[in-house]
Amino acid sequence: MAIKITDECINCGACEPECPNNAIYEGGVEWALADGTTVKGSYTLMDGSQMDADQRNAPISVDTYYIVPNKCTECQGFHEEPQCAAVCPVDCCVPDEMYQETVDELMAKKDRLHL
């Protein structure tokens, strides 16, 4: 499953540079699938809808750092554990129960994000 950042986030920013998929953004910052990935053109999201990889999207959070679930692979294929959770000083990077994914699904997402 994807990782989420809880309201306990202190906005230290330690997590953002650790993400190999650039799935973590500062609160209030727009995001795009193409940021930090090799995705180009149309991309199929987890819900089956299509989005242009360069499309700028509204922030998921304006107050704290946030993780884009469609870009989060729990660091599968890069590291042994989610790096955001490993470096978070307040343990606010936790599994997001809304996004149940197997290791195989996470690896397939990684392969789609990094062609």
pLDDT (0 to 100) of residue 52:
98
1 has pLDDT over 80? no
CB 44 within 8 A of CB 50: yes
Give the residue carrying structure tokens 């307040």: 90
Reduce the DSSP state of residue 85 to 3 states and report it.
helix
Report the alpha-carbon distance of residue 63 to residue 90 in Å, rounded: 16
| Percent of the chain residues topping a pLDDT of 70 | 100
Domains defined along the chain, listed by start = 1-107 (3.30.70.20)
Question: pTM of the full predicted structure?
Answer: 0.94
Q: Report which of 53, 49, 23 is spatially closest to residue 40, judged by C-alpha positions.
A: 53
Percent of the chain with pLDDT over 90: 97
Residue 69 has pLDDT above 80, yes or no: yes
Give me the numbers of helices (H) and strands (E) for the chain, helices first please: 2, 6
CB 55 within 8 A of CB 39: no
pLDDT at res. 115: 84
Mean pLDDT of 72-88: 96
DSSP H or E segment with residue 15: none
**pLDDT tens, 32-67?**
999 999 999 999 999 999 999 999 999 999 999 999
Q: For the chain, give the number of residues.
A: 115
